[in-house]
């Protein structure tokens, strides 16, 4: 049985996409289907490669019982377009950049997390705690909806 492979993508892979990776992993684990998924995150830029998530992302996740502290930032690589089924951008500019980076023959489906609402998840990097709380709520809602969509296709 092949796994459904999902990569969440934002600009630097320290705020939004680590939250999405952690929350999607939480949904998958809570429903006992972790053996059916491979989950990761990356950034379109390489400024933070090797760094842990932003402490504010770690804190908001921890407030909700999700540990993302062991994640390390990576940059989107051409292999991601064939190793993953879905590349999920946090906003329209991430999605546009992914389409630009996609090599010929890329297999991954590229879309926004809040695609159905056509809504960007804002970058909270320059925001305070309220910005991270808003992003947490949006990412939690989006990852749960994505999980339900992917499970409906899998079953």
DSSP code at position 35: G
Buried b (16+ CB within 10 A) or exposed e, 113-145: bbbeeeebbebbbeeeeebbeebbebbbebbeb
Residues with active-site annotation: 10, 16, 123
- 107/140 Cα distance (integer angstroms): 26
């Amino acid at each position: 049985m092949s796994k459904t492979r999902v990569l969440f993508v934002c600009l630097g892979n320290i705020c939004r996409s680590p939250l999405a990776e952690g929350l999607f992993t939480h949904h998958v684990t809570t429903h006992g289907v972790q053996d059916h998924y491979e989950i990761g995150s990356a950034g379109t830029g390489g400024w933070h490669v090797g760094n842990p998530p932003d402490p504010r992302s770690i804190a908001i996740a921890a407030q909700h019982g999700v540990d993302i502290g062991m994640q390390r930032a990576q940059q989107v690589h051409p292999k991601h377009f064939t190793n993953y089924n879905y590349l999920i951008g946090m906003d329209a500019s991430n999605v546009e950049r992914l389409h630009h980076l996609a090599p010929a023959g890329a297999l991954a489906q590229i879309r926004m997390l809040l695609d159905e609402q056509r809504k960007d998840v804002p970058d909270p990097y320059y925001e305070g705690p309220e910005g991270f709380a808003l992003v947490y709520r949006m990412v939690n809602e989006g990852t749960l909806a994505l999980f339900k969509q992917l499970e409906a296709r899998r079953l």
